[in-house]
């Protein structure tokens, strides 16, 4: 007789034990996965908290450098103030160690620049073109090797951006031009908050803006900027030549700056007595824009603390007989 293999079946209790064992193995694997993920999340959270703490500390160190700069400006007087301004004109950087890192602070003279907001004056209900300001700006741009026609268009575009009407000047632009951009926007119709705002103005492509940026600024008011003739650098000669107009060439402006006494001028009269300057008739209102004491400084504080890097750029207003005050801050470098 033919025999068939015997089949063995698990008893019910043995089947239940196998399923329980399989579930236990699965549960252990699941818990291990969850535990590993939780551990990694905790490590990430700890690192993130440490980074935030380090960045916050770097931020306070930068503000400390800013407060120190204000105190240094406020405490300087007479000859000491002139030395401070001359050092600021050179943009010297001071670096000093802190626990866990370093602070590098650069105080520079922000007085000598063309105030773009000075292109305008306050009218009855809006800003209007200031007489003579555009000519000075156009001359500055031409001295910076920008063709005269384009220089005039750039000046008109800047004034269109700030004035309160909707009529574009020749080569300028108003809301109609900006609303046609891929991302539509409108003209500011007020003073510039900072010079970097020019990037939004028609004609000021990145190459143009980068080229003129060292010579322009956006002051807190629409008053034309004053020049500190005791701290003007040789490379800032275009500002002086633009100030005096066609009567002073760029080369002559460079010679005037080079001939300045090492300690600067004791009086404005001493500057005006320079042979080439004495030949030029200067209206009294324009003479008032020649000064010997800077009232505007720029601070750049770079902090390295643990793994954090932080940069603070501040503009400090320091008018005579007044406490220095921060009028603008930027966190991170301007691009």
Per the structure, how many domains does the chain have?
A: 2
- Whether residue 137 sits in one domain with residue 81: no
Mean pLDDT of 186-206: 95
80-84, 203-207, 315-319, range with the lowest pLDDT = 80-84
Phi, psi of 137 (to 5 degrees): -65, -45
Say what percent of the chain tops pLDDT 90: 66
- Whether residue 134 sits in one domain with residue 106: no
pLDDT-derived band at 169 (thresholds 50, 70, 90) equals very high
| pTM for this entry | 0.81
- Asked, for residue 186, whether it belongs to a domain, the answer is yes
Q: Are 222 and 121 in contact (CB under 8 A)?
A: yes
The three-state DSSP-derived secondary structure of 290-301 is EECCCCEEEEEE
Instruction: Give the span between the Cα atoms of 88 and 30, in whole angstroms.
Output: 64
- Asked, for residue 201, whether it belongs to a domain, the answer is yes
Domain of 161, CATH number, reads: 1.10.40.60
Average pLDDT for the chain: 88
- Asked, for residue 210, whether it belongs to a domain, the answer is yes
- Whether residue 51 sits in one domain with residue 90: yes
- Whether residue 209 sits in one domain with residue 144: yes
For tokens 């090492």, the residue is 262
Please, where are the H alpha helices in 76-182? 79-90, 133-143, 148-162, 175-179
Tens digit of pLDDT for each residue in 277-329? Answer: 999 999 988 999 999 999 999 999 999 998 889 999 999 999 888 899 999 99
Q: Which residues of 27-45 are buried (b: 16+ CB within 10 A; e: fewer)?
A: eeeeeeeeeeeeeeeeeee
Query: Residue 64: which domain range?
Result: 47-110+296-331
Domain of 72, CATH number, reads: 3.30.1300.30
pLDDT at 48 over 80: no
- Asked, for residue 9, whether it belongs to a domain, the answer is no
What's the confidence (pLDDT) of residue 2? Answer: 57
Tens digit of pLDDT for each residue in 84-93? Answer: 888 888 888 8
Tens digit of pLDDT for each residue in 94-128? Answer: 888 988 899 999 999 999 999 999 999 988 778 99
pLDDT-derived band at 11 (thresholds 50, 70, 90) equals low
Mean pLDDT of 14-24: 70
Q: Interhelix angle for 133-143 vs 148-162, to 10°? A: 140
What's the confidence (pLDDT) of residue 46? Answer: 61
Tens digit of pLDDT for each residue in 232-285? Answer: 999 999 999 999 999 999 999 999 999 999 888 999 999 999 999 999 999 988
- Whether residue 207 sits in one domain with residue 139: yes
């Amino acid at each position: 007789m033919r025999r068939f293999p015997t089949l063995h079946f698990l008893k019910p209790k043995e089947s239940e034990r196998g399923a329980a064992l399989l579930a236990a193995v699965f549960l252990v694997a699941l818990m291990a996965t969850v535990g590993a993920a939780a551990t990694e999340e905790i490590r990430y959270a700890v690192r993130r908290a440490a980074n935030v703490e380090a960045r916050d500390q770097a931020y306070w160190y930068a503000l400390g450098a800013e407060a120190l700069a204000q105190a240094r400006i406020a405490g300087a007087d007479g000859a000491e103030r002139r030395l401070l301004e001359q050092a600021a004109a050179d943009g010297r950087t001071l670096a000093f160690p802190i626990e866990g890192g370093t602070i590098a602070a650069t105080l520079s003279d922000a007085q000598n620049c063309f105030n773009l907001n000075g292109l305008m004056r306050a009218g009855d209900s809006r800003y209007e073109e200031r007489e003579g300001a555009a000519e000075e700006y156009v001359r500055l741009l031409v001295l910076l090797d920008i063709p005269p026609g384009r220089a005039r268009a750039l000046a008109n575009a800047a004034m269109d951006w700030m004035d309160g009407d909707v009529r574009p000047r020749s080569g300028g632009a108003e809301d109609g031009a900006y609303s046609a951009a891929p991302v539509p926007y409108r003209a500011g119709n007020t003073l510039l908050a900072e010079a970097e705002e020019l990037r939004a103005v028609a004609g000021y492509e990145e190459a143009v803006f980068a080229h003129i940026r060292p010579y322009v600024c956006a002051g807190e008011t629409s008053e034309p900027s004053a020049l500190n003739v005791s701290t003007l650098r040789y490379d800032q000669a275009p500002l002086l030549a633009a100030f005096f107009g066609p009567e002073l060439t760029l080369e002559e402006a460079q010679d005037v700056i080079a001939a300045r006494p090492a300690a600067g001028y004791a009086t404005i009269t001493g500057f005006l007595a320079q042979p080439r300057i004495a030949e030029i008739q200067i209206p009294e209102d324009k003479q008032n824009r020649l000064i010997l004491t800077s009232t505007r400084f720029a601070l750049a504080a770079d902090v390295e603390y643990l793994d954090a890097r932080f940069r603070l750029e501040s503009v400090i207003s320091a008018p005579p007989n007044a406490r220095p005050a921060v009028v603008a801050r930027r966190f991170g470098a301007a691009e």
